[in-house]
Structure 1
Amino acid sequence: MVASGVVIAADHDEADTTSFDDAAADIGDLYAFHDGERLTLILTVDGYKLRTEETVYDDGVLYGVHIDTDGDNVADHDLWARFGSNAAGEWAVQVEGIPGADGPLVSPVDEVLEVEGGASIFAGTRDDPFFFDLDGFQDTLATGTVAFNPERDFVAIKNTVAIVVEFDHAALGSETFGVWATTGRQAQ
């Protein structure tokens, strides 16, 4: 049996329901990996910024990372992140819902916060780890002949905003899991 439905997904540059004028809500990538007992989740947004461009954080966007541990495609853990600033214009990130953490964690941007119990968070501007030969892609589309060149990387001089959460994998209560990310903006 084959079922069909509407699926809305993001590519590295622009999600179907996001426009270029809302870069803060535009998901670039979601990475999930573990090193020993540690699980690291990295959500990147607002990609393809030149390194000379100033990072703009947006307190109107809610970033979600959702974890399904029982294979039913419903989140068993929801991690929520949001940026905010104080009266001095200093930005921080708050992340809540981290498995094994007691309450939300708050850290200034561009600083790693590690807490007792093994959770840590980071948010800030980083070199975009994605690799893409844009010229090769366009040449391939135009000619029908594969024209990718590993020496050309359109993303090599670009930055992205990264939200990083790390915690003990055992806190999920499952060895296997599925993970996806969402962004949302509060209606005006």
Structure 2
Amino acid sequence: MMKKQALLLAGGLCVAAAAAVALLPGQSLRTADHLDPPGRTSPDADSTPDRAADIADILAWAEGGNLNVIVTFAGPADPDAPATYDRDVLYKVNISTDGNPLNTENVVRVRFGQDGPNEFGVQATGVPGANTLSGPVNTDLTRNGATLRAGLFDDPFFFDLQGFMETLQTGDLSIRNDRDFFAGQNDTAFVLQIPLDTLNATGKITVWSETLRFGGNI
């Protein structure tokens, strides 16, 4: 079983998916819709390259002097399934620090690569204060206070799909808080921890993420 805990540890380009959150220190986090991108709604979505490019959630919050960002994708997946890494997908984390979400003063670019069978690596460039973080997946990669980790994580999204479907069918609210469709399933994800003092923020921080594919259409 390859289930892991979702814990934060101390040619052409085609846009596939995007999601955003805005935060102030101490605010609760918000997530993107889970499993909703068009590439995940086609009958053969699970068997196409689209899976690696579909963002499930972006979670962002400020705590302990750090900006913490989690981007999940390629889920939900069975706990016995391997992580999904695609060298042709570029993940961008755009960070606005002046209160205007249209200005992205910092752009972190994340990509995956493979050196051999089951030997995957991850690289993030443009990391504030650290510039580049790279190394094997499932490893804490740290430089100048910034940390990157990529791999399989327990799916963080909670949703009662059965109750939702029953509500649609009957018109009576049937959603329960003790029934989670995503329990026991995984996402592939990367986690970033960036010291706030390297961002030089002058206003509300806005974080949004997008995926882009090299050399083809999504």
Give the TM-score normalised by structure 1. Answer: 0.89
Are residues 72 and 39 of structure 1, via their aligned partners in 2, closer, same or farther at CA, if it must alter by over 3 Å? closer
Map of 1:159 onto structure 2? 186
CA distance in 2, matches of 1:14, 1:25: 12
Instruction: Say yes or no: does 1:11 pair with 2:33.
Output: yes
What is the alpha-carbon distance in structure 2 between the residues aligned to residue 92 and residue 142 of structure 1? 45
77, 90, 106: which one pairs with 1:49? 77
TM-aligned CA distance change 1:17 to 1:73, over 3 Å: farther
Query: Offset of 1:151 from its aligned partner?
Result: 1.2
Cα deviation for residue 68 of structure 1 reads 1.2
Check the 8 A contact 2:159/2:181 in 1, yes or no: yes
What is the CA-CA distance between 1:88 and the residue it aligns to? 4.9
Q: Specify which structure has the bigger relative contact order, considering alpha-carbon pairs within 8 angstroms and separated by 6 or more residues.
A: 2
The DSSP-based 3-state class of the residue aligned with 1:33 is strand
Matches within 5 A, 1:52-63: 52-63=80-91
1:13-32 alignment, distance < 5 Å: 13-16=35-38, 20=45, 21=48, 22-32=50-60
The Cα shift of 1:105 comes to 0.8
Q: Alpha-carbon deviation of 1:54?
A: 1.9
Distance 1:125 1:72, change over 3 A: closer
What is the number of equivalent residue pairs in this alignment? Answer: 180
Residue deviations 1:115-169 (CA, integer Å, cap 9, x gap): 2x20110000010111010001111111222111111100001100111111111
Equivalent in the alignment of 1:96: 125
Q: For residues 29 and 126 of structure 1, what CA distance do their matches in structure 2 show?
A: 12
Who is 2:64 aligned against?
36
Q: Which residue of 2 aligns with 1:146?
A: 173
Q: Hey, what does 2:152 align to over in structure 1? A: 125
1:177 matched residue in structure 2: 205
**Pairwise CA RMSD of aligned residues?**
1.9
Note the C-alpha offset of 1:65. 0.7
> How does the TM-score come out when normalised to structure 2?
0.77
Supply the distance in 2 between the matched residues of 1:167 and 1:78 (Cα, whole angstroms): 12
Quote the Cα distance in structure 2 between the aligned partners of 1:41 and 1:92. Answer: 19
The percentage of aligned residue pairs carrying the same residue is 39
SS at match of 1:23: helix
